Chains A and B, each alone.
Chain A
């Protein structure tokens, strides 16, 4: 009897506590859902703005005409070609270097202090301010030569590609089971062949993903190109001359006072974002397929 009278208030206390905990839990759920909605809303707002403002200017003549003074009906041909040249060249140069460094970290550098330092520095380079990479290349490749050039732009982008490829190469090679290496070595395969013909082939889908992500990342980079390839309003495919690129053209046109230039900036922004997001989606689909295998 006395036990029940004692337990009654205890039980009501525990129900209010439970109710409070559930209330807090519901509140947390609502707030977290709200946070996710905000982030999604930002993405939708950006894509919507790009489509609404960029699509009206996306015509065939925009893609086939070179940039021109305001009002003269210019297009985006030279920024598009310039971006393609610089991005493809930078990826082609940066990928082998980054991959070899990644191979060193995964296959040769176990436990060595030097490899630890390379890994640490590469990860810092991955997030280092890209505008400083532009300044660095300006001082070693532009100032001594005396003029801006496509070469310098490519060099700046190479510096950005390397750490991305290092990171993905090491991560992907570590996923290759050690038994495959042992099997190849037991057959008398030299170590370098084990790495190149067995490990790299086994991880090739993941490695390709890394290269695609690097490509996507540098396609949108503006700051490192401002002081290196500078941008060029005339048609030029010479790497020894200043070279136009889509991001720098966006920067120059978006802040201008001319309606048609701002329109071209939006169209360029739509092109670059669509390209970057498409590459990202392709890379992620490829990676998902690799994981499911």
Chain B
């Protein structure tokens, strides 16, 4: 703000020669800011416009029915929306404890010489392209799931009264659980990075006074650090959830590609993003199928924008509370 005022005074003093430079540059910078807004608006508007045929043909039934039948040209969103939510939920449930453990270990437990390289390794995992996770999942995780994990789960939990619908079916290795597992591995570094930054941002004097009173590290984490950083931690989790909802390539390899809703976590499914990636090449321009895919894209956009907006607000609230 003070730069603003001094900059304005300076340009006035520099005279007419530089007079046009300032407004021109400021205008250009502002225009680029506007472009960011237009891009986001454009993406939402184009999805909605492209999906209008599907919305007008199927009406509200597009959201409430689970049929996806290219032969009869009946499309509805419930099955891929279900797949998206279930895989993301599995991913977050697995990723949050892992990420918390990593962040806690990096900030409080690891000695200085170790925490730097470890932090870099976690950040590198976040940088691995999603298609690599997909390939790795398909060639490494799916066989393990099919051979060991899923038979063991069917054997142990498949007969427990309330749980058995979730853990029954054939152990193909692919499916919702595997998809959720890959998502968990992908979003753990993101959540861990946010948590680590939040934990590190806490003024050391709080922790030191708790340690001075004889607290153990776990006491400090649970009674001092976590209550203080709760909002921002939830913001970080929401950020991970936002990533999981829109993840495409990793899921496409392991999800199994089926458009039916089944309670079993081993059954093949689809997420919105994987359905778009798999079915788009087979849909002709202007067809009802393409329009349905775009309508699905619009739904995904809305879901992930709401999640990301919540995440941003929580992270920002966490920051202002901290200052």
Contact = CB atoms under 8 A, between A and B. Distances in A.
Contacts of B308: 123-124, 127-128
Interface in A188-224: 188-196, 216-217, 219-223
Given A110-B4, A124-B308, A127-B239, A40 B36 contact: no
Given A25-B219, A49-B140, A128-B304, A101 B43 contact: no
Contacts of B28: 100
B205 interface: no
A28 B135 contact: no
A286 B276 CA distance: 39
Contacts of A98: 32
Contacts of B6: 181-182, 185-186
Interface residues of A, number: 98
A100 to B, nearest CB: 4
A97 B38 CA distance: 13
A100 B246 contact: no
A76 to B, nearest CB: 15
A95 to B, nearest CB: 11
A23 B131 CA distance: 42
Contacts of B26: 104, 108, 191-192
Interface stretch (B114-122, B152-160, B226-234): B114-122
Nearest to B125: A43
B53 interface: no
Contacts of B14: 188-190
Contacts of B248: 129-131, 222-223
A181 B3 contact: yes
B40 A124 contact: yes
Could you say which interface size class chain B belongs to? 35 or more
Contacts of A25: 216-219
A277 B127 contact: yes
Nearest to B136: A46
B219 to A, nearest CB: 6
Given A36-B102, A222-B131, A24 B218 contact: yes
Contact of B121 (A43, A105, A222): A43
B109 interface: yes
A219 B217 contact: no
Contact of B273 (A35, A131, A192): A131
Contact of B10 (A33, A124, A191, A196): A191
A185 B109 contact: no
Interface in A145-199: 159, 162-163, 166, 178, 181-182, 185-186, 188-196
Nearest to A42: B185
Contacts of A254: 134-135, 138, 253
B67 interface: no
A62 B242 CA distance: 38
Interface string B184-214: 0100110010000000000000000000000
Contacts of B130: 220, 222-223
Nearest to B105: A32
Interface string B1-33: 111101111110110001001101110111111
Nearest to B3: A181
B280 interface: yes
Contacts of A22: 216
Contacts of B297: 131-132, 135
B191 to A, nearest CB: 11
Contacts of B300: 129, 132
Given A101-B32, A276-B128, 4 more contacts: A35-B97, A129-B301, A191-B25, A195-B25
6 contacts: A32-B102, A101-B32, A118-B37, A128-B246, A220-B130, A222-B129
In order of increasing CB-CB distance, the 8 nearest A-B pairs are A220-B129, A129-B246, A35-B101, A191-B7, A192-B25, A104-B29, A25-B216, A100-B32
